[in-house]
Structure 1
Amino acid sequence: MIDDLKYIALYSRVSTDEQAREGVSLEEQQERLKAYCRAMGWNIETRNYVDDGYSAKNLDRPNLNKLVKDVKAGIITKVMVTKLDRLSRKLLDLLTIIDLFQEYDVSFVSISESFDTNTPPGRLTLQILGAVAEFERERIRERVYENMYHAAKQGKWLTQSPYGYQLEDKQLVVYEPEAKIVNLVYKMYADDGLGYYAIAKYLNNKGIPSKQNKEWTIRSIKRMLTNPVYKGTLVWNRVDSSKKKRTEKDADDWIIVDDALPAIIDKITWEMVQKKVNKKQMASRAQTSPHLLGGLLKCGNCGSGMSIGWSGSKNNRYRVYRCSANKNKGTCTSKQYKANEVETWFKQGLLSLYNSIDNNLKIALEEKIHDQHYQDIEQKIQTAKKRYKRKVEAYTAGLIELDDLNEERKKMKKIINEAKRANYEPSYDLKQLEQNIRTKLTNVIDAIDNLPIERTKALLKTIVEKVTILGDKEIDIELNLTE
């Protein structure tokens, strides 16, 4: 049972070398503290907290810990010391523990410095000390940042190694048993069309543990699929961990070093996966729909999605695809179609596409690749220019030095020159891309007759962008040529 009384805590400390050097005794400290209480007319009962033979290098002391525990228990009203350095010689530690006292409405008194947080002068002194401490914290943070910045620029890994790697002398090396799993995850996502949940479930069912020997989750799979380390790029200072809620920093503050680490995934595959990750995904309800074209089929009359429904008599019920605008708003005059017939037309359309992969498809594929290539180049140039513009603004405001601005200007010029060189012709293997399309089409056609709908739909997403029904036996299939 917690004591209902409130006490004044008298804290005294002395280290062995202080006793020898300065003749500071615990008894003297205690007497001075008690005398101060009498002089101030404080009649509250006192409690002694004594750390004999402990230095002020840190706050981990037996009776100081006991004092903190009693403060949190609510039985202390005031903490007293003879001098501030009895509590701590480090300003940051001193402010930390005084903040704790303040949190529990406990005043702090140091009699030598006439310091009392319960008085206006004491609170003013505390604010000044706090400002000095904050300055010291910022300086420490700056020094740490500078050291880590230089280490990152040299390609050194500064935290725990990610899955697929091991850490040797601050350098990442590929750990083959885990690297095989990384390749498998990327294949399942990019080629097999599986989502984060399905991949996590597969790995957990196979008894394959994560880095911390925990089960895989949607979050851990997505983190693996979006981590640039797997393409050999080091990105540091991306997240602000100084606050309770981790937030992503401005891209200007990131340290990015390409080709600084051993890659597990080739850059083309990694970039393709990022496009898929950032692409607007099919609604989760549509993904789990037990109907082959749920979430993919569009109305050729108004462009709305086609939803599944049921029609027919009580003894002859059958599935139908019906325009959602017609069903929900009555704004479309499109008719409904028997689902089995539509899905048969769709399969026939895929077979027709497979058998007619000719120059027309090659031309469309080349155009798609060129368009995407030039879009990527333009985006890189615009990003570099915007980044430099922000640096100019920072220099104008006196936040960075001229050397920093010149360094950013060199980076911008380098990016623009490299982008212009790459602007002439995108590098790709047309025959390989054509073969990829053939393989995916074959997989989907085979899956329709042999695999569960959920698995078939996952494969569909890897090659089919959209399906539009134009009329009886008229299906328009738009392929996704960039994944």
Structure 2
Amino acid sequence: MIAIYARQSVDRADSISIEQQIELCRYETRGEEYTTYVDRGYSGRNTNRPQFTQMMSDIRDGFINTVIVYKLDRISRSILDFSNMMEDFGRHNVQFISATEKFDTSSPMGNAMLNICIVFAQLERETIQKRVADAYYSRSRKSFYMGGPVPYGFRKVPAVIDGVHTSMYEPVTEEAKAVELIYGMYSQPDTSYGDIVKKLSELGITKRGGSWARARIREMLINPIYVRADIAVYEFMAENGAEMENPPADFIGENGCYSYKSRDVKKAAAAELSGERIVLAPHKGIVDSGVWLRCREKCMSRKQVIPSQKAKNSWLCGKVKCGECGYALIAKEFRGGRDRYLMCSGRLNSKTCGGAGTLHTNEVEKLVYGEMKNKLAQLGKLSCPDRTVSSPEQTALEAELAEIDREIKVLLEKIKECDKAMFRYISERVNELDTRRSEMTERIEVLKGRNDIPVDEIDCHLTMWEELSFEDKRRVTDILIRVIYVTSERLIIQWRI
């Protein structure tokens, strides 16, 4: 049996189609019976192609004695793959014919010419790959739109950059509110991906008609496309190993960032910045840099599986880590809470750490509290009235308020086209929404006064520390401290201020 093999990676006007390849190969059959093997949309850089694999299986089973292709590069562009294929053909006495190149594989000279041609086929493939990579790298450095799905929170709009017609992102008001809700919730110490998914579901906020998933939430939280990048973002990314394409002076707290893999990096952990190339984007960001940085740091700190239960045994939970292995210290209580200890999760879960020693929770809390007071005493009274930390409830209410405003607007637009019955329904619905809107606005004002902690008042909170609730202690600690590394011998605090 004769086999005709045809392959086309991309259907373009200037490339020869599958049908044309088969038609040209039919002449070489001289009227004998043949079967076709066709791989559409597959590259010749390797042999991971379903119909090629089937053809080689049929050859080994003795069903095929001749293989015809339109051109050498249709069957392979790799020297190694082609050499292995020709060895298989020789073992099974299969004749190989290239319809346009006319090689006689029965002679040493014919085999030599065949191998020379496949060398040039591989060279062509690698040259094309290099040219495409260089063009991609050059265009991405200039902040051109490089394709791909449009991130949630944005729409794609036409743009002209350096005289070149391209595209850029533009925030979508309704989706941007949901993005702010997601970041606002996750910036709180106790909030998990699951908490966010649950809240979005309760509010009826979908991901463009689809459901949310924890993995998608995490992808959003580590994506710099949302941040209004300022110098703090620049320094954070540079310190964590990212390759920065723009100078620090360009980071003025307005634009988002594109993130690409560096040219010499094959694979890196998604949460890590090492190996990332950061390019300032032309679009406006959505999330304040301080909130984005807190979320990014929280994602990076999750090296181990985080327990599903909320912190309850110490206000240090989520901040304090083993000074030996870097894994989280878990607060444990024994004898009804009379004995409280911090234990290394790396030792508890996998025995990978020798442990941080005996750490009494009360003693560590006392030491950290003292260090926070000393830090504020060194700095004097801070003046950062714009930096506040809103509660998840406030952020959720603000997002729901935006949804109510949108619904009221839509209903009012329909009034001029409706009949009496519909008018009555719209009036009742608008009144309901307006009542709910008033209630929510009042609640938000209360929360702003109760839950927002301006940084310039933290010193006051520390003087009345024992009067604060457990959650307020955690929130004050989150504002001041990035992470704490502790053993029985030492305590190291990385400050945010």
TM-score by length of 2: 0.49
TM-score by length of 1: 0.50
Q: Determine which structure has more spread, i.e. the larger CA radius of gyration.
A: 1
